[in-house]
Amino acid sequence: MGKQKRANSALRRFIMTIVFLTVTMIVAAGCGKETSGDSGKLRVTATTGMIADVAQNIGGEYAEVSGLMGPGIDPHLYKASQGDVKKLDDADVIFYNGLHLEGKMGEMFESLEKRKPTVAISSYLKEEQLHSDPQAGSGMHDPHIWFNVKLWISAAEVIRDTFVEKDPEHADYYKEQATAYIAKLEELDAYAKEQIASIPEERRILVTAHDAFGYFGSAYGLTVTGLQGMNTMSEYGSKDVSTLRDFLVENKIKAVFIESSVPKKSIESVIEGARQLGHEVTIGGELFSDAMGDAGTEEGTYIGMVRHNVDTIVAALK
């Protein structure tokens, strides 16, 4: 008798468990809009800090954005860690730069693309808006698109449209956020134009460790040259050092710039070479090229990083 009772209550518990699990699943499915994070926010993973910052500005309170590449990180050489793979797997939406900026992650994006929205920001730009990168081969383009602020407005639009499509319930919010942020980008673009124009024309030459500033130069009127090509994976040799050294001497260039994501020693060898020829060159400051500054600082945002670069360049060359 006692045995029978125990068996009955075990059966009842079993049935209750099944009912409970079924109800839980139905409730979960009902709540499962496009957003699936614990917080109910759209989970967004972006590669570079610059993209993550724009996504956070537009996504605001409805997006939880994580960027994979922190301060000082070189995206050309970056390999995804175990933790990154999880962040990409868990994301509702993924944004990356493309044009082979994230050179070692290409295959990963191809496979993610089959499972979830995986958006290359650069793929929304028109061919004529892009610079070619002859060193990388025919048909290849310079990936450093964020340094033409006008082009980066397109990035903001792509991110806005992706959010609107993925989370239509908050469409109006995303549109408002984007409009406000794009207005700030317009202001930034005007600031860069006006500031760079204040440098005497013959001194508007920007020399850096790698060729990250091609779009910046053409948008704001600077001649740009770097020791390494557009990709930090490319090796530079003694011939590149002597070519750049001669360029500095011939053009009487007073200042060159280091980059937060590229080792200093490459550009120091050029400075030393010029010094041996009797031409003094100083380091005009550190520019943020392929990565932003520390989180919580002015330079830890896209707008702050561009302003910092403009101000540093103007102070050194003017």
Decide whether 189 or 290 has the Cβ nearer to Zn ion. Answer: 290
Min separation Cβ 259 and Zn ion, Å: 8
Q: How far apart are alpha carbons 208 and 253 in whole angstroms?
A: 12
How far from each other are the two terminal CA atoms of the chain, in whole angstroms?
98
Residue 122 and residue 69 in contact, taking contact as beta carbons nearer than 8 Å: no
Beta strands 118-120; 93-96: pairing state: parallel
Min separation Cβ 251 and Zn ion, Å: 23
Min separation Cβ 147 and Zn ion, Å: 10
Decide whether 44 or 258 has the Cβ nearer to Zn ion. Answer: 258
Q: Based on the number of CB atoms within 10 Å of its own CB, is 57 exposed (0-12), middle (13-18) or buried (19 or more)?
A: buried
Beta strands 42-46; 63-67: pairing state: parallel
Decide whether 77 or 164 has the Cβ nearer to Zn ion. Answer: 77
Decide whether 86 or 264 has the Cβ nearer to Zn ion. Answer: 264
DSSP class per residue in 19-88: HHHHHHHHHHHHH-SS--STTSSEEEEESSHHHHHHHHHHHGGGEEEEES--TT--TTT----HHHHHHH
Decide whether 144 or 204 has the Cβ nearer to Zn ion. Answer: 144
- Look up tokens 């990709």; give the residue: 231
- H or E element, residue 210: strand 205-210
> Which amino acid, residue 251?
N
Taking alpha carbons only, the member of 193, 218, 192, 230 closest to residue 308 is: 192
Min separation Cβ 289 and Zn ion, Å: 6
Would you tell me which residues interact with Zn ion (CB under 5 A)? 212, 290
Taking alpha carbons only, the member of 44, 26, 48 closest to residue 35 is: 44
Decide whether 84 or 290 has the Cβ nearer to Zn ion. Answer: 290
- Look up tokens 């830890």; give the residue: 300
Min separation Cβ 234 and Zn ion, Å: 10
Output DSSP code: residue 234: S
Decide whether 62 or 147 has the Cβ nearer to Zn ion. Answer: 147
Q: How far apart are alpha carbons 119 and 63 in whole angstroms?
A: 16
Min separation Cβ 266 and Zn ion, Å: 13
Min separation Cβ 212 and Zn ion, Å: 4
Min separation Cβ 39 and Zn ion, Å: 34
Decide whether 240 or 290 has the Cβ nearer to Zn ion. Answer: 290
Output DSSP code: residue 226: E
